[in-house]
Structures are given as structure tokens and as C-alpha cells.
Amino acid sequence: MKKILLATTAVMAVAALGLTGCSSDNGRGGEATTEEGSGFAADSLIGVALPDKTSENWVLAGGLFEDGLADAGFEGDVQYAGASNAVADQQQQISTMITNGAKVIIIGAKDGAQLGTQVQEARDNGAIVIAYDRLIQNTDAVDYYVAFDNFKVGQLQGQALLDGLAASFPDKTTYNIELFSGSSDDANAPVFFEGAMDVLQPKIDDGTLVVVSGQTDIAQTATDGWKPENAQRRMDTLMQGTYQSTTVDGVLSPNDTLARAIITSVSDAGQAEAPIVTGQDSEAASIPLIMSGAQYSTIYKDTRALVATAIEMAQALQAGDEPDTTTETNNGNVDVPTLYLDPVIVTKDNAAEAYAENPDLLALVNE
């Protein structure tokens, strides 16, 4: 089990490996985004554009950015897109940050495929764009990307589903499962799904796993807007139709919010034996479910570490330095210099260890 990457260790680990930052040109054909020794004023405006408040972690990130940017001496402008017309709202917020002179804009994209005009505007006005948690696609005007390794998240979810099925149903040799994926406008959703299917598809092919509904394509499994009511509605339909005469043994859920909706649906349908359900984000509401066995697993992606790393990138840029990166991620147009943090799988068995440095979550484990 890998140790949790904390805010203070994420960057140190990179430095310890002796990794050098990617060239700021990165084959994009333009001038370097930063030059050694150049930077900007220490109290400059840093914009943060976040997608919405549908996830507990987005709400947490906003507060952490406000406090962290202030502590770093920056003027911070942290904005959330509205619930309706969220893409247009975020586009306008980013344009306003550019007009107000933001030197760095950190973007958690509502829809990473619809921000090309805004990030090009940022580059044209000398602002540096950091894609946060979600990759901004099909543009060469993205300078950096900081996120947890989302393909690995999916792999961990897939393996957790297999492990949970084997542990909970030792007398079975085949298992009935269903697959859920995230919102189609979120660039992370297919990465999570592809990572999970990297583990699950061989077991589907050899008959160990049976997707009873036959819905294995990401378009069939998508959950619009990451909304729990949409996941619950789909699971209700499956329980009322596909599972009238059999039981569902496991469900691949891409996050905790959807996992709770799926668990509710199965329970409401009257299935006596709880299925193995995966999740992600270590939401407070899911920790008691994991400890009771109602939800099998979640993924811990320490938002504190991710926000701190994004702010450290801004600090490096302010000082005229290149932020540390570990790899590159292709966004459809260009290879974007990337710093990945490691996710951690959490089950009842390792929850106390996984959350040892997070008092709020640890308290829920110990309730």
C-alpha cells in the first residue's frame, strides 16, 4: 500500500527523484511560457475557476484555494460556475479573470472541451493556465496539468470490485455486475472507466464477470452531470427489469455520491444481500458506509495535497522558475507538462491507516 501523498511531501518526492521540469515550449511552436529569472509580482492576482458544488471535494477545494493563495501572498479570485448554464458561466468567469490581470489561472473545467477560446485568450494576454484535476482538451494553450493519476484510479476501482466479490461471495465462481461511469462532459470520466475496464474486461471476456444488462459501453453507463438522481434512476430501472429474478453482486461506481445512490436503489428494491460497490473521493457520508460494509471501497485523493501542489506551481511561476512535472499528458493537440499525485484505495481494512493524517475522516472511521 502506497503512503498517502501529503501537501508537504508531494513536491519533495518529485525533487528527491531528481526530476527536471518539462521545457516550457514543449513543442508547441511558441515562445516559452516562462523564462528562468522572470516572473511576476508576489501579490499578483491568481484566478481559480471551479466547475460546481456537486461534489464535496469541489467545495473543499474552493476554501483551500482561498486560504492557501492568501497565505502565499497572492490576491485570489476563486469562482464556481453556476448550476445552470455552467459552461457559459465558467467561460465568462475566466474571461473576467483575464481582464482583471490574473497572472495564473487555475481551471477545474466544467467541460474541458469548451474552454479553448478562453485559454487562448489567457495566453494572448500573458496569463499562464494550469488545468486542475480535469484536463482541458484540444488546445495548445494549456501550460500545465496537475491531477491525481486518473487511469490508476480506475484500475484501483476495478481491482477493488474483484477483491470485494471474491471476499464476499467465496462460493461463487461467476458474479453478476453492472457498470456506471461519470458525466460525458467530464474529461476524467472516460479515463476512470478505461482504467477500470483495463482490469475488468479480461474477467468479462472469460465469463467470471457477467454484465447482466449487457450495458458495457461508456455511452450506456454514463451519468449525466454526475447527479445521484440520474444514477439512482438508472439503477432503479435495472433492478425493476434485469434483476427481478436474479441478484446483482457488484457495481462499479466511479464516485461516492453515485455509490450512495446505487446502494439506496438496491436496498429499495428489496435485495437482501448488499452488492460490492466501489467509489471515489472519500466523502464524509460514505466513510460510515464503508465501515459498516454497505459500500466496499473508495479512493482517497487528498484535496489538500492537490490544492497545495497547484499553489506551489503558481509560486514557482511567480519566482520565474519552472514548476516540477513528472510526465506529459496529451490533450488532443499537445503534450501538456503534468504532475500526477498517487491515489490510494481505501476499504474498511485500511481506512484508519489511509486517513491517519486527516483528523476529520479519521474521526468518522473511529465512530
DSSP string over 163-182: HHHHHH-TT-SSEEEEE---
Across the chain, what does the average pLDDT equal? 90
What is the percent of the chain with per-residue pLDDT over 70, rounded to a whole number? 90
Q: Is the dihedral of CA 162, 165, 168, 173 positive or negative?
A: negative
Taking the C-alpha atoms of residue 317 and residue 40, their distance in angstroms, rounded to an integer, is 8
What's the whole-number mean pLDDT along residues 136-150? 96
For the stretch 224-272, pLDDT in tens is 999 999 999 999 999 999 999 999 999 999 999 999 999 999 999 999 9
Look at residue 19 and tell me whether its pLDDT is greater than 90. Answer: no
Taking alpha carbons only, the member of 41, 44, 145 closest to residue 102 is: 44
pLDDT band of residue 84 (cuts 50, 70, 90) is confident
What is the percent of the chain with per-residue pLDDT over 90, rounded to a whole number? 86
Instruction: Write the CATH number of the domain with boundaries 7-142+302-342.
Output: 3.40.50.2300
pLDDT given at position 152: 97
Look at residue 27 and tell me whether its pLDDT is greater than 90. Answer: no
Pairing of strands 209-211, 175-179: parallel
Let me know if the fold of 7-142+302-342 is the same as that of 150-300+348-354+361-365. Answer: yes
Look at residue 182 and tell me whether its pLDDT is greater than 70. Answer: yes
The SS3 of residue 226 is helix
Domain-wise residue ranges, the chain:
7-142+302-342, 150-300+348-354+361-365
Taking the C-alpha atoms of residue 226 and residue 8, their distance in angstroms, rounded to an integer, is 31
What's the whole-number mean pLDDT along residues 59-76? 97
Superfamily of domain 150-300+348-354+361-365: Response regulator (3.40.50.2300)
Taking the C-alpha atoms of residue 177 and residue 199, their distance in angstroms, rounded to an integer, is 14
pLDDT band of residue 38 (cuts 50, 70, 90) is confident
Look at residue 46 and tell me whether its pLDDT is greater than 50. Answer: yes
pLDDT band of residue 22 (cuts 50, 70, 90) is very low
pLDDT given at position 222: 98
pLDDT given at position 9: 40
pTM: 0.80
Q: Which residue has the cell 495566453?
A: 123
